[in-house]
């Protein structure tokens, strides 16, 4: 599971009937440096299935791979990434002297 930031919405002209009932969000993974420094993420974007109603700039917890479709069993959903939670706050506890964060 990774923490990601919602940066947009994906709109489809047509979709498979199994895809009804949620929105597709465009999200970008947040690195530890992004979370600590508050910098804008520079990673590749990912399309995420969102039934929870995450808004633009929301931080979300995303499940990826085969596990993304497990909440829908026995139904089959063609998913690679699923929004499992909308995060209100993220608190990090670590010793900044124990490792070095990359420069933004």
Sorted by where each starts, the structural domains of the chain and their CATH numbers stand as 2-87 (2.40.50.220)
Q: The pTM is what? A: 0.80
The pLDDT score that the predictor gives to residue 93 is 77
User: Are the C-beta atoms of 73 and 29 separated by less than 8 Å?
Assistant: no
The pLDDT score that the predictor gives to residue 96 is 64
- Alpha-carbon gap, residue 62 to 33, rounded angstroms: 18
User: Are the C-beta atoms of 3 and 59 separated by less than 8 Å?
Assistant: yes
DSSP β-bridge partners for residue 59 = 5, 87
pLDDT tens string, the chain, 104 residues long: the values are 899 999 999 988 887 777 777 889 999 999 888 888 888 888 889 999 898 999 999 999 998 877 776 776 677 667 788 899 999 988 887 766 666 666 65
Q: Dihedral of CA 37/39/45/51: which sign?
A: positive
Nearest residue to 77 via CA among 44, 48, 46: 48
């Amino acid at each position: 599971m990774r923490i990601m930031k919602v940066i947009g919405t994906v709109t489809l002209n047509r979709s498979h009937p199994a895809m009804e009932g949620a929105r597709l969000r465009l999200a970008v993974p947040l690195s530890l440096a992004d979370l600590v420094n508050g910098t804008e993420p520079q990673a590749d974007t990912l399309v995420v299935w969102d039934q929870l109603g995450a808004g633009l700039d929301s931080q979300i917890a995303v499940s990826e791979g085969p596990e993304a479709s497990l909440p829908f069993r026995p139904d089959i959903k063609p998913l690679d990434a699923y929004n499992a939670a909308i995060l209100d706050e993220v608190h990090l506890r670590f010793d900044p002297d124990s490792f070095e964060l990359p420069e933004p």
